[in-house]
Structure 1
């Protein structure tokens, strides 16, 4: 009797092929996200020269250079937003990887995400004095504001300028007076607020600004003057603008993260050593018509320091907890900043 052996190998191979195909298709999103994670960097910045380190890093491709040293090709994307609230929303929805905003919004999102996304600071963008500018000669201190006045800030109740104003109010009127000037705050992007102060004849009688808008206001409106500054309120030089990210991004992208911080540190060294070139980069990257001499004046101001280590930020966070803005009181910088050798010694 002749036996006929029927091979099931082709059928088995077809079944296996289908199963493998199904598994591969199911895994594609995971494979794609894993492949895109390390080496992709989306950074949100806002308006002003306080973001100069990012401008320099972008212009000189420092992030890409540091990435190559670490063995990873980094695709860097920059997004322009306005206000800490918008930046925080973008970070929490996964639209960006690195957020650039005031230290006030950092404390807000750090407190809000504890035990979940665990957002913490990555680096400072340097120390700049932020000026509260008024174009009304009557207003010489925060005690001179009346219910008819309006104070422009990037985002009411969230931006670092708004927090500085609350801190100044608490220092003048005590804990019960912390929110005394809140009803006067109006949310306006810095360029619009600067135009209102320079032009005058609007409801905006003050602007808690940042460079270079505050310097423009002082230069272009003879009535514009400084009412107080962030340095006055916080008791010395302080890092008002910072960068922050989620714990997941830092954990899943160690090479990209380290390359980014190294690039920022490299940019800080560059700006300090080459203010003229840095001024040109700022003007070129932002398409700005600001007078170059004014930009150089800011960069060479002894009160301005380019460093990635945060300075004098803890005090504001503790005030925000006392005032009820956040629930958790920070005890040390390491509570709300990720550990990194380049930002060691921050305060």
Structure 2
């Protein structure tokens, strides 16, 4: 058979197949769905670190038939996180329950920002390198208190609650002028060095324990004492539109968090190694594991003891919309949980 006949034979018999293949090849590949998550500093965000290190969001997305491309952003302070969420620069915010309540109140009836889940229960310590400060009454005009975001961060809200309990509710913002916005790592370094105006820090894990290892630094009070028990200080939240428009991504994210929780509970030492890998911290593995397994620390997704802080913020006029329960500022996906 001649070369011409072979060519004609293939062209005639395979035209439909070749055309189909060319059409498939010309079709663009399905683009991955982007998920932008903002986190901050510390073991408080360990659930996210584990999910990131183990590719759990991508895994659970694939199980639901969704290719998820996760972008991780690190910010400092609830104000910056809220600005990023409201400007549509991120999809999921990781910040204190204080910033959540601020943005929930601000977007009530429009964007309807609400909580997704808790990142766990962790005590926040108010610590100082000033030996003259033993109680809040000892703080004077010359003292400076580092918080992630002045007046907005959960540490600022804890401080306001403590001040109101000490001096009266009408003076809840009495120490506002003493506070300075500073990321936890920088505030810890300032406190340890003693060479700056910062002599007090409303801290978080692991930074508060790192600082307390240094001679001359002591605790004044903590969030568990202020709220009367363990509290979930840090949460994840998003807009109602994001949740409604991305049900599979949202569900995959919740599944990933739950698996990350299991990883931490089943192998806390590996969780400590993950924290070290993701953050690049130089802290000792044994030290990190001791924090993860501390009896005061839990990586439960269930919000706990947040409502007393909400009631306080409404009473002092920090928020204008009065919730009737914790379920008002968390999405209904977790309403069956025994939160508070």
- 2:241 maps to 1:238: no
Do the aligned partners of residues 42 and 158 (structure 1) sit closer, same or farther apart at CA in structure 2, a change above 3 Å counting?
A: same
The 3-state SS of whatever aligns with 1:42 is strand
What is the alpha-carbon distance in structure 1 between the residues aligned to residue 300 and residue 64 of structure 2? 22
What is the alpha-carbon distance in structure 2 between the residues aligned to residue 176 and residue 315 of structure 1? 17
2:191 to 187, 192, 197: 197
1:59 to 43, 53, 72: 53
What is the alpha-carbon distance in structure 1 between the residues aligned to residue 192 and residue 334 of structure 2? 43
1:176 corresponding residue in structure 2: 170
2:95 corresponding residue in structure 1: 101
User: In the TM superposition, what is the alpha-carbon distance from 1:201 to its structure 2 partner?
Assistant: 3.2
Do the aligned partners of residues 242 and 274 (structure 1) sit closer, same or farther apart at CA in structure 2, a change above 3 Å counting?
A: same
1:264 corresponding residue in structure 2: 257
Aligned length in residues: 312
- 2:298 maps to 1:300: no
- 2:276 maps to 1:283: yes
What is the alpha-carbon distance in structure 2 between the residues aligned to residue 40 and residue 197 of structure 1? 39
User: In the TM superposition, what is the alpha-carbon distance from 1:203 to its structure 2 partner?
Assistant: 1.3
1:50 to 40, 44, 69: 44
Gaps of 5+ in 2: 1-27
What is the alpha-carbon distance in structure 1 between the residues aligned to residue 207 and residue 187 of structure 2? 9
Asked if the contact 1:101/1:241 (under 8 Å) is kept, the reply is yes
Computed over aligned residues only, the root mean square deviation of the Cα atoms, in angstroms, reads 1.4
What is the alpha-carbon distance in structure 2 between the residues aligned to residue 329 and residue 236 of structure 1? 23
The 3-state SS of whatever aligns with 1:41 is strand
User: In the TM superposition, what is the alpha-carbon distance from 1:202 to its structure 2 partner?
Assistant: 2.1
Give 4+ residue runs of structure 1 displaced > 4 Å after superposition: none
What is the alpha-carbon distance in structure 2 between the residues aligned to residue 47 and residue 276 of structure 1? 19
1:11 corresponding residue in structure 2: none
Larger mean CA deviation between 273-282 and 288-297 belongs to 288-297
Deviations 1:14-57 (A, max 9, x none): xxxxxxxxxxxxxxxxxx9xx87x83211000011100000000
- 2:210 maps to 1:216: yes
User: In the TM superposition, what is the alpha-carbon distance from 1:342 to its structure 2 partner?
Assistant: 8.3
Do the aligned partners of residues 342 and 335 (structure 1) sit closer, same or farther apart at CA in structure 2, a change above 3 Å counting?
A: closer
Deviations 1:165-187 (A, max 9, x none): 00000111111220111110011
2:201 to 183, 204, 207: 207
User: In the TM superposition, what is the alpha-carbon distance from 1:288 to its structure 2 partner?
Assistant: 0.8
1:318 to 311, 314, 319: 311
2:13 corresponding residue in structure 1: none
User: In the TM superposition, what is the alpha-carbon distance from 1:250 to its structure 2 partner?
Assistant: 0.2
1:7 corresponding residue in structure 2: none
1:186 corresponding residue in structure 2: 180
Deviations 1:220-262 (A, max 9, x none): x211111100111111010000000000000000010011011
What is the alpha-carbon distance in structure 2 between the residues aligned to residue 114 and residue 129 of structure 1? 29
